[in-house]
Chains A and B, each alone.
Chain A
């Protein structure tokens, strides 16, 4: 488990940071994903699929964390989450605008776009990570791009 963590933790934390824009929350999500895998290791039918399982757990964890954050801050529920001050200082205004737009998308559209264009996963891998069919990946990606283009167009 420790070896698995050493190999994949950085990539998974970065994935969660992209999704959430919040590094402490991202680290918590990844820790919980590894703890979940640890508890279920003996039930995993194919241990070579551990990364796929972890990626799915991180995606689900990010979704839960984002919803929990919105519930805790009901007044801000409709506001897109932004980067932490520390992170924001490292990201250009153009990139912050795009990230804010991505985080306004519905969960599945956001996840499909991040997996496709950040991780460069193919449709089969995205389908496995999101546990949806390949056709749904294609249409969700397509609609996410349309929606994102619309949001960015409105902002510019």
Chain B
């Protein structure tokens, strides 16, 4: 009984066994049918029963400046090996009709998604992690989808059995992507703590993936990858790593930047936390490729910082500066933010904390996207503010933050859509989006 895991198993089972099999009291159900109050509560809380297996973790962070709060997290994905690509009938980027998807309660729909794509305001393709499918036998895969129709154009399978694609990141051209693939530990089916390999894939102009190219970079077994971002030009890969996770005594966090064409790897390190496991949203690049934004948690404070990539490496804090900060719960390390490609602002997704167990003031009741100036750290714009949605997340920004792609979780549904001004246009075919936080443009 040497490991912490073994001690947990033994202790929890000892505690559980204090309840004998015959020690269960009889069930005491309400004697009458549902009351009016219960019926109201049932309607109001119906969403709790319809979420299925996926629900993003909407975390409670406090942003005094923006009168909104937020949190979140993200991510995940999965996929396995024996890489092959399935092409799904035709390029099919355009649906039979281009009407908007389902209306999102509490929001105003903007122009149809096709208008954004046709005008070049948002990219035409995206990759999303598809969950394992017992029906097809595919453990998990990366789907290539058309932004307008939501249709799956091709499926990239893992490279071998018992492997999983756990994260996806994209360059600015919407054609170059890097996939992170991880093996499942024998016997447990969990990728936790296993080594991660990276593969480069390029899409054709029709959205069809070419062959996967194995990159020399990797995350060794025993380390935790908490961030992944391909540079806008596709020439460098930034990875956030916790070198020692289970059983380690330190909270050291590293950011490594790998030149994909070869050359020295730069490493910055500090004591704190970036993102969550397999988090492809905790890091984001400015187009200049001289600045990398990262979410950072130290103690009870979560912040967004800008790393100076012109430095040679070294201290993560000394070579970065804070743009904004919020109060955080210890267990929710990641915030939802991206730096705009022009480097002028941080777009921060702010969600209300309407939970009964929230410690936060009830005044924080709106969801939205707040823009913080990277120069001053002040809120310069509110890009959308709604009282209906429970939580929001930002996945992509145009050059200056005027058009975003993000997530809104309403009472009974999670929508991926386009945010512009104070409008939200959901993408079509949301039913295909099992894990919306993994959608990558």
CB-nearest residue of chain A to B250 = A146
- Give the CA-CA distance A134 to B132 in the complex, in Å: 12
List, in ascending order, chain B residues with CB within 8 A of A94's CB: 7, 10-11
A10 x B276 contact (CB < 8 A): no
CA distance A106 to B73 in the complex (A): 17
Contact indicator B14/A95 (Cβ below 8 Å):
yes
Apart from A106-B329, A134-B78, what are 12 other A-B pairs with CB-CB below 8 Å? A14-B17, A17-B19, A18-B12, A31-B27, A40-B45, A107-B331, A117-B12, A118-B9, A133-B55, A136-B76, A146-B249, A148-B8
Contact A136 B8 (CB under 8 A): no
A122 to B75, CA, bound (A): 17
Q: Which residue of A lies closest to B50 (CB)?
A: A45
- Which of B62-70, B183-191, B374-382 forms contacts with chain A? B183-191
Which residues of A sit under 8 angstroms from B242, Cβ to Cβ? 142
Q: Does B224 contact A (CB under 8 A)?
A: yes
In this assembly, does B25 line the interface, its C-beta being within 8 Å of a C-beta of chain A? Answer: yes
Residue interface mask A125-150, B partner, CB < 8 A = 1: 00110011111111111110110111
> Which A residues touch B132, using CB under 8 A?
124
Total number of A residues with any Cβ neighbor in B under 8 Å: 73
Chain A proximity mask over B220-255: 1 for CB below 8 Å, otherwise 0: 000010100000000000000010011111010000
Against B, the Cβ 8 Å flags (1 = close, 0 = not) of A94-127 are 1111110010001111000110011000111001
Instruction: Evaluate contact between B248 and A133: CB separation under 8 angstroms.
Output: no
1/0 contact string of A1-40 vs chain B (CB within 8 Å) = 1100100011001110110010100110001001100111
B36: Cβ under 8 A from any A Cβ: no
CA distance A108 to B277 in the complex (A): 15
B8, B46, B74, B188: the one within 8 Å of A102 (CB): B8
Task: Give the chain A neighbours of B15 by CB distance below 8 A.
Answer: 14, 17-18, 21, 83, 87, 91, 95, 99
A1 partner residues in chain B, CB cutoff 8 A: 27, 29
Interface check B278, CB cutoff 8 A: yes
Q: Which of B246, B331, B435: most chain A CB closer than 10 A?
A: B331
Asked if A138 and B277 make an inter-chain contact with CB atoms under 8 angstroms apart, the answer reads: yes
Q: Are A44 and B49 in contact (CB under 8 A)?
A: yes
Which among A21, A91, A114, A135 is the interface contact of B278 at CB below 8 angstroms?
Answer: A135
A77 at the interface (CB under 8 A from B): no
- A57 and B19 CA atoms in complex are apart in Å by 20
Question: Is B310 an interface position by the 8 A CB rule?
Answer: no
Which B residues are in CB contact (< 8 Å) with A137? 277
Q: Shortest CB–CB separation between residue A95 and chain B, in angstroms?
A: 4
Pair B11/A146 contact, Cβ less than 8 Å: no
Report the bound CA distance from A45 to B30 in whole Å.
22
Interface size for B (C-beta < 8 A) is 75
User: Which chain B positions have C-beta within 8 A of A142?
Assistant: 192-193, 224, 242, 245-246, 277
B26-78, CB < 8 A from A: 27-30, 34, 38, 41-42, 45-46, 49-51, 53-57, 73-78
Does A67 reach chain B (CB closer than 8 Å)?
yes
CB atoms of A43 and B46 under 8 A apart: yes
Inter-subunit contact A132/B7 (CB<8 Å)? no
Question: Which residues of A in the span 78-100 have a Cβ within 8 Å of any Cβ on B?
Answer: 83, 86-87, 90-92, 94-99
Report yes or no: B16 in contact with A34, Cβ–Cβ below 8 A.
no
Q: How far is the CA of A15 from the CA of B191 in the complex (A)?
A: 25
- Give chain B residues whose Cβ lies under 8 Å from the Cβ of A26: 19
Chain A binding surface SS class:
helix
24 contacts between A and B (CB under 8 A): A1-B27, A2-B27, A10-B21, A15-B16, A17-B18, A17-B19, A35-B30, A83-B18, A87-B15, A94-B7, A102-B12, A106-B331, A122-B189, A122-B190, A124-B53, A124-B132, A132-B57, A135-B75, A135-B276, A135-B277, A135-B278, A138-B277, A139-B279, A146-B246
B247-A113 in contact (CB<8A): no
**Chain A residues within 8 Å of B, Cβ to Cβ:** 1-2, 5, 9-10, 13-15, 17-18, 21, 23, 26-27, 31, 34-35, 38-40, 43-45, 53, 63-64, 67, 83, 86-87, 90-92, 94-99, 102, 106-109, 113-114, 117-118, 122-124, 127-128, 131-143, 145-146, 148-150, 152-153
> Quick check: A40 and B49 within 8 Å, CB to CB?
yes
Contact B28 A133 (CB under 8 A): no
| CB atoms of A91 and B18 under 8 A apart | yes
Q: B28 — which chain A residues lie within 8 A by C-beta?
A: 31, 35
- Whole-angstrom distance between the Cβ of A130 and the nearest chain B Cβ: 8
Given contacts A45-B50, A98-B8, A133-B56, A92 and B14 within 8 Å (CB-CB):
yes
Q: Give the residues in chain B near A17, CB-CB below 8 Å.
A: 15-16, 18-19
- B12 and A114 form a contact (CB under 8 A): yes
With A87-B15, A118-B12 already in contact, the answer to whether A133 and B74 are too (CB < 8 A) is yes
* Shortest distance between the CB of A30 and any CB in chain B (Å): 9
Contact with A along B400-437 (1 / 0, CB 8 A): 00000000000000000000000000000000000101
- Interface residue from A14, A133, A145 paired with B437 (Cβ < 8 Å): A133
Q: Is B362 an interface residue (CB 8 A)?
A: no
Residues of the A chain whose Cβ atoms lie less than 8 Å from the Cβ of B279: 135, 139
Task: Determine the distance from Cα of A87 to Cα of B19 in the docked complex, in whole angstroms.
Answer: 9
* Contact assessment for A136 and B49 in the assembled complex, using a CB-CB cutoff below 8 Å: no
How near does chain B come to A67, taking the closest CB pair, in angstroms?
7
